[in-house]
Amino acid sequence: MNSALIPNLDLRQENVALPLKVENSSAASTLLSGPKHSLMILDNRELDRQCLAQCMAAHKTDLLILAFGTVEEWKQKRDEYPPLSAILLNIGGKKIDDPAVSEQISSLSSEFGTIPVIVLADSDDFTQIVRALEFGAKGYIPASVSVSVCMELIALSVAGGVFVPASTLFAMRHLLESSNSIARPLAGIFTDRQAEVVEALRRGKANKIIAYELNLRESTVKVHVRNIMKKVKATNRTEVVFKINDLFKESITAPEKSRDRADAIGRSTVASHH
């Protein structure tokens, strides 16, 4: 069975496509009273796609659930089904960076335009999720969710929303906090222009290069360097870099210590409830 139409075991046949073996009648008329749109599950593992389609068909949905190994298989019978509302690409344990996977996401997103392509995967890795969205996916569902939640998330994508796991938002917040913790000490001590010069000094750039990159006169850069040296009480450029690097270490370490203390308090609080 290469494509499919998954019979609904609880006999709620309005949500599944029946075997199209109707004499003297077209497939279109057979499905006329059923769902007006369909969801295509793409998965080259036959057992996996059939099981998933059967589980989804058991939930109340306005979509006809179709399961195919390739888009080409669907195209051969596309006239027999209602228009697509969404495509669920089940990649299992594969990585988004796998050329075959990334190419498939890009190709589907490009070919089907406004029809959302949603990735279903075993991983909820932040990097993988971001990559999937970059390649054109309109949602990323980890396999850790229930079937009912999966159906709700698909409905969200069909309505125009984009879903990513909460873990992705937490990872993004962590990155933003880390970035802000690095920029914060400079903002409190130097002007914006001095902070740019400090960053260039930390990278070992010469005054002439700094002047070129910041569109300044070299003499102006020298003035900034002297003012920076006064602020950190340094006698030369090397000492400036040394002291600034120490400042960065302290600013990064302090938030980490605070988080460690918070985690410890959290663990003790949880333990006390048990």
Based on the domain organization, do 33 and 129 belong to the same domain?
yes
* Domain annotation covers residue 129: yes
Based on the domain organization, do 130 and 237 belong to the same domain?
no
Q: Which of 164, 189, 223 is the last residue of a domain?
A: 164
183 within 8 A of 112, measured Cβ to Cβ:
no
Q: What is the CATH number of the domain that holds 219?
A: 1.10.10.10
Based on the domain organization, do 192 and 158 belong to the same domain?
no
Based on the domain organization, do 68 and 90 belong to the same domain?
yes
Lowest mean pLDDT among 30-44, 63-77, 94-108, 254-268: 254-268
Based on the domain organization, do 174 and 157 belong to the same domain?
no
Is pLDDT of 48 > 90? yes
Based on the domain organization, do 40 and 129 belong to the same domain?
yes
Q: State the CB neighbour count (10 A cutoff) for residue 127.
A: 13
Is pLDDT of 196 > 80? yes
Strand, coil or helix: 120: strand
Q: Which of 102, 135, 164 is the last residue of a domain?
A: 164
What percentage of residues in the chain have a pLDDT greater than 90? Answer: 35
Based on the domain organization, do 47 and 159 belong to the same domain?
yes
pLDDT band at 186 (very low <50, low <70, confident <90, very high): low
* Domain annotation covers residue 115: yes
Interval 20-26 mean pLDDT:
32
Model pTM? 0.54
Based on the domain organization, do 74 and 191 belong to the same domain?
no
- DSSP bridge partners of 4: 67
pLDDT band at 234 (very low <50, low <70, confident <90, very high): confident
Based on the domain organization, do 246 and 153 belong to the same domain?
no
Amino acid identity for residue 38 in this structure:
S
Q: Which domain holds residue 241?
A: 169-264
* Domain annotation covers residue 190: yes
pLDDT for residue 189? 76
116 within 8 A of 158, measured Cβ to Cβ:
yes
Q: What is the CATH number of the domain that holds 127?
A: 3.40.50.2300
How far apart, in whole angstroms, are the C-alpha atoms of residue 75 and residue 90?
18
Render 168-187 in DSSP notation, one character per residue. Answer: HHHHHHHHHHHHHHHHHHHH
Interval 148-160 mean pLDDT:
90
Based on the domain organization, do 160 and 182 belong to the same domain?
no
| pLDDT 10s digits, 200-218 | 888 888 899 999 888 889 9
Q: Which alpha helices (H) appear in 39-165, and where do they start and end?
A: 46-57, 71-77, 99-112, 126-134, 147-158
Lowest mean pLDDT among 44-58, 185-199, 247-261: 247-261
